Amino acid sequence: MSDVSNLIGIWVSALLTVMVLSYLLGDNPLYRLAEHLFVGTAVGYAVLVAYYSLLRPRLILPLLQAPLENWTLVVPLLLALLLLARLNHSWRGAGMAPLAFLLGVGVALALGGALFGSLLPQVEGTMLSVNPADGGWGVAVGNLVLVIGTVSALAYFYFTGQGDTGWGRLRAGFLKAWRGLGKWFIMVTFGAIFASTVMARLSLLIGRLQFLITEIPKTLR
Amino acid sequence: MKVKFGRSLAIAITIGTGLLVLANFFVRNEFLRRVQQTLLDWALILAAVALLLGAVNVVATHLRKIRGRRPGWVYSLFLLAALGTVVLLGFLDPRGVASPAVSWVFLYVHVPLQATIFALTAFFIASAAYRAFRVRSVDSFIMLVAGIIVLLGQVPLGQAIWDRIAAAKDWILAYPSTGGARGIILGVALGTILTGLRVLLGIDRPHVK
């Protein structure tokens, strides 16, 4: 990019930054304009990514260049047309098939991902040694805290277990105690996540202010 | 009768494709792997078309707003202008997203807008922190202590107040916070598996009306 386009770019981004920051004074037309420009560019960019990264290389070009070799792509093409038919109210029902397809694939991926990407690795990661001989007392106590935290936080999401019999009441009381402990661990997690989010957002704010303070004077030299 | 057949077909498609994709997680088979890959490619194409459909919906909504001269219609005009400009710049150049004009818009319009909108939340998070961290119960006290230690453990001010605060922050993040987060992740994973199974077994049919 040339120096002139860079210069214009820096001024445009500075102007947009100030327009967004003007929201601190209250809702105003400048902020709303910036907000709408943001949505406009985001949607436009998403359209281009969808076309150039997915539709063109995976559907349009293979069908145009070698239609006989890629005849199976007729299926997603047909499903895509049915999906587009949802734009017309009288054809809305036709869009059920591509949605059903997307849901089937999406649910299977989510299920497989949850099982092999979350559940099993997290369970494996929780099987930690609490023997001080393995890594010292600090690590052993820490691991014990981690295991208790995991089990109790999981128990917090266990909503059944009430009972009328003596054994049932004992079980319910035990679960209630675990749930209480789990709630505290979840609170620690929320506090840590909140603090990390505050730091991330502050870093962004410092970055934007630094941009305004350092880049604009450079363009005036 | 037609509607009933359409619903049954939709449920059959969901269950059929879902089980085929899921089978590949459990069975090592070259044919199944190829079937899953084909279905995933088709799903990607459909997701892209669904995204285009969403963009068309955005355009239609704002066009209606402009035509009806509804409050804020001028902003809709700018939104459509921005959207149209980016799309036009991308289609005029065969390089598309990688074209210099689109890159310029992304770098000097989209990135600063996104970064500043997220930066703006720092102020609102501060006021939310006041409400969340007000000590009204043991729970909020625990959250306050954890939050303050993690926050101060990352800045020089914290080090000046207590030289072991960084170590305390690391310990909180490594053990109790990880324990709590792991419990939440396991709960979410179990919930996802159950919901997924309900859809794949045809018990839940969110897409069929």
Q: What is the ipTM of this complex?
A: 0.85
Q: Are residues A148 and A109 in the same domain?
A: no
pLDDT at A161: 62
- Regarding whether A10 and A29 lie in a shared domain, the answer is yes
Task: Indicate if A136 and A210 belong to the same structural domain.
Answer: yes
Contact B170, A138 (CB under 8 A): no
Angle, helices A96-113/B176-200, rounded to nearest 10 degrees:
140
**pLDDT score, position B1:** 55
Domain that holds residue A172: 129-221
Same domain, A60 and A76: no
Which H or E run contains B189? helix B176-200
Among the candidates A65, A96, A114, a domain finishes at A65
CB atoms within 10 A of CB B4: 8
Number of domains in chain A: 3
Encoded tokens for A199: 């730091």
Distances (CA, A) of B53 to A48, A75, B50, B110: 13, 18, 5, 22
CA distance A197 to B122: 9
Determine if residue B96 is left, alpha or beta; phi over 0 gives left, psi from -120 to 50 gives alpha, anything else beta: left
Nearest one of A30, A5, A27 to A16, comparing CA atoms: A30
Residues B100-124 have a mean pLDDT of 93
- Rounded mean pLDDT of B143-148? 92
pLDDT of residue B2: 59
Predicted local confidence at residue B130, as pLDDT: 78
A contacts of B106 (beta carbons < 8 Å) = 41, 45
What's the average model confidence in pLDDT over B150-163?
A: 91
- Sign, CA torsion B187/B189/B192/B194: negative
Q: What is the pLDDT of residue A1?
A: 61
The model's confidence at residue B202, banded by pLDDT at 50, 70 and 90, is confident
A114 touches chain B (CB under 8 A): yes
- Are residues A12 and A78 both part of a single domain? no
A185, A186, A192, A195 alpha-carbon torsion, rounded to 10°:
-140
Q: Which pLDDT score is estimated for A168?
A: 80
Nearest CA in chain B to A78: B46
Per-state percent for chain A, helix, strand, coil, to nearest 5: 85, 0, 15
Q: Are B148 and A38 in contact (CB < 8 Å)?
A: no
> Does residue A176 share a domain with residue A107?
no
A135 and A122, same domain (yes or no): no
Question: Is A135 found in the same domain as A121?
Answer: no
User: In this structure, are A110 and A140 located in the same domain?
Assistant: no
Both A15 and A91 in a single domain?
no
Cα of first residue to Cα of last residue in chain A, in angstroms, is 20
The reply to whether A146 and A166 lie within a common domain is yes
The residue written with tokens 């949850």 in the block is A114
Reply yes or no on whether the pLDDT at B182 is more than 60: yes
Reply yes or no on whether the pLDDT at B172 is more than 80. Answer: yes
What does the angle CA A211 – CA A212 – CA A218 come to, to the nearest 5 degrees? Answer: 85
Residue B92 touches chain A, beta carbons under 8 Å: no
Domain closes at, from A86, A101, A127: A127
Residue-level pLDDT, tens digit, chain A, 221 residues = 678 899 999 999 999 999 999 999 999 999 999 999 999 999 999 999 999 999 999 999 999 999 999 999 999 999 999 988 877 777 777 778 899 999 999 999 999 999 999 999 999 999 999 999 888 999 999 999 999 999 999 999 877 766 677 788 888 888 888 999 999 999 999 999 999 998 998 898 999 999 999 988 888 87
Judged by a CB distance cut-off of 8 A, whether residue B115 touches chain A is yes
Q: Average per-residue pLDDT in chain B?
A: 91
**First and final C-alpha spacing in chain B:** 14
- Least CB–CB distance from B82: residue in A44, A84, A152: A44
Q: Which of A71-80, A129-138, B41-50, B174-183 has the lowest mean pLDDT?
A: A129-138
Q: What is the pLDDT of residue B3?
A: 61
Same domain, A166 and A122: no
Cβ burial of B139 (10 Å; 0-12, 13-18, 19+) is middle
Domain boundary among A127, A150, A175: A127
According to DSSP, residue B27 is labeled -
Q: Is A25 on the interface with B (CB under 8 A)?
A: no
